Chain A
Amino acid sequence: MASIFSKDKRIIYTRRIREFWFEFKSKKIGLAGLALIIIYVLVAVFAPFLTPYNPITQPRLAQATAMPEWITVFPGYQDYGKTQREILNWNVEKGSEFVEGWGSSAEIQYEAGKPQLVQVELSSQFSYMQMAPNEFFTLFRYEVANIKDIECSIALSLIPPEANSSYIFWRSETLTAEKSQDVTVDSKDPIFIKRLGFKLQENLGNIIFSQKGDYTFILLIQFRPLSNDAMAKVVIKNSQIVLLGRVHGILGTDYLAKDIWSHLVWGSRISLSIGLLAALVGTVIGIFVGVTSGYLGGLTDEVLMRTVDILLCLPLLPLLLALVHLYGRNVYYIVLFIGIFGWQGLARVIRSQTLSIRETPYIESARASGASGFYIMQKHIVPNIIPVAFASMILAVPSAILFEAALSFLGFGDPRVVTWGMMLQHAFGFGGFSQLAWWWIVPPGLAIIGLCMAFVFIGHAFDEIVNPRLRRRR
């Protein structure tokens, strides 16, 4: 990097930067903004270490729109439980002679014998000591193999503590051929609710797990041999029950029960990069157009400035929405479009600066000694307008961030990346408001405000140093 500049140039630049920093230090508001940005950058860089979950691929971490965990400190919420995952370990209750192995997976073998009905009963107990969950689901996998001349059936039921009756969770059809299946029994499944004889609007989680204590799962496997050489093998695997928590993590969950804290942290990456990149694209175009137009003048100037006029007449948000809609909701397009349509104001400022620099004696002498137009623009004009351009770029960052947030909020963001605007869109569109999910609505908005304010503060401080008379309108 350093080798680009000659030694005395380097000294000049370092001195300039040091002087600038000296002045910047006296602006409290600018320092506050800088500190804030450093925090955001650190969060963005260390996102993988700050987040326990993937905000896109890990749903159902708790119930949908679960509250933050720390809410349990407040009265009225103390009973709210976290997600409880229980791996079911099977014990044999009946028919142990047929069970080959048990534990987290169980293997039941029926071999040729007397043609009579055989029942194998496995049980697994777990304790649940929290407030009844709103949602739960049970998973297991069964594999039926080596089957011959036999009818077999599997049923799973749950016995609540101190109860005589049980809830039948699942029952297989009569199995006569090899089959394996992953079974999910979900408390939100209408067929399941109907089968247990409840109304659809009733909450199974609240009904079944209303008591605290030991719950017992019973797995009943029946063999009905049809001939003397009947045989079958049934394997039960990966059995677990997940009682989804009413509270989860630092900031709760959204409508798909994904982790909001992770979403928020990862969102900082996108917002920072979109804001900086779009502002950079806009600034580069703005400098190029402004300097060219100001230095060359004449027809070039006229054409470029009329282009600016035309761009200023275009309604920015509707146009961006149309472009993003037509060309695809891609984050790179969004950056590009925001940059391409966001340089008009800067170009005008740079042009007027260039006009005044062009008339200075040293440019005249450079021209007299035969320097080409390109050389003068690049060596003499651009370095002089860099501070103004930089201040303007910093102020362009928040508007780019806000534009992206607005696009995402209206549902025109890139669906593959995690952004704060998207969180607000989901909260708005998927019931965050009717459920009063403040932990879902407030954090992304505050994150946007914090980041934008940081840039506004720095830009404000910059503006005062670099160009006290410059006021931006748009």
Chain B
Amino acid sequence: MTVYLDHAATTPILAEAAAAMTAQLGNVGNANSLHASGRAARRVVEESRETVARALGCRPGEVVFTSGGTESDNLALKGLFWARRAADPQRTRVLATKIEHHAVLDPLEWLEAEEDARVDLIAVDALGRIDLAAFEAAVEAAPQDVALVSVMWANNEVGTIQPIARIVEIAHRYGIPVHTDAVQAIGQVPVDFAASGVDAMTVTGHKIGGPYGVGALLVRREVQLTALLHGGGQERDVRSGTIDAPAIAGFAAACELAVKEQPALASRLTALRDRMVAGILAVAPSSAYNGDPVSDVEHRLPGNAHLTFPGCEGDSLLMLLDARGIECSTGSACNAGVPQPSHVLLAMGCGDEQARGSLRFSLGHTSTDADIDALLEAIGPVVIRARAAGQTSRGAERA
């Protein structure tokens, strides 16, 4: 039996999403063709757009379908940067946090190297939450220079929810657009695009029980974006490519269900997660719970638990759990499979060794009490063995 505790990486597809997607797979029809088959495909896409809009609190015209989170982030960051700079050449500054996903950090690094952007990554506190005073100061230092702000809704590694409303309030004082990557938040905590005030939001299918390779960027109607993918202009003229109607149908079905089930799922996962964390801390007393310890959806993703096991290599823990059929993550960025210490933990003030000795367990819609039981049974011996192996690759155990 596999105990799957890596829902933040990807979560199993919902039966409703698979059904909605497969129902379309056999149909021919390019949504941009004018004949009956094309119109049928277009209808599926537009109904899906309306479903997504309803679920996430935006207007249908504000949904730009993409290939997923990475593309949506790239489109938001580069598209906003170019459009805002084109309107006023002094807008070359981008503000984000040190704990963004690589799908945000790497495009920003690229903009810095290739487009002379000045990227200011704002620090976070020990719980992984943005330093609002520092953010406000960075904005106010020269608000006219800021092209955009990008702050994730919830961190993918440690689950900390960011104060998006405050970010928006500060940025909007100066008319600066705000993008948020909300791929981890949808279905876990309440998210409403219009109510949040953000100007652009990244969402993706496979994190919410939909198919892979499909997602959306929600963009306020009045916000200008420069296109990234040029071609037929299928999606609001900012995203080209033949529209994947079956994937979009699956994504919409997942979106609708995930948002509807969110309150029930959140309370169920919070209980499971809190029991899991208490259990781990009891069997491995030297371990430490990272991120925000407050359990509610205002503070932390209900499915997220992130712990450090001092003296252990995260790799060793992962490997030993994997051998027992328990799947989790070191929660760190992977570079050709070479583990690097997590930039998120480093930004939260952890040392290199602490960052390397950590694991992320993430729960989702298929998680059960039996999963937690299996983990709690395995984790004690696994930690003892991993500690014996030590952080050998660091040379810590050298004779």
Task: Tell whether A and B belong to one assembly.
Answer: no
B-to-A contact residues, CB < 8 Å: none
A-to-B contact residues, CB < 8 Å: none
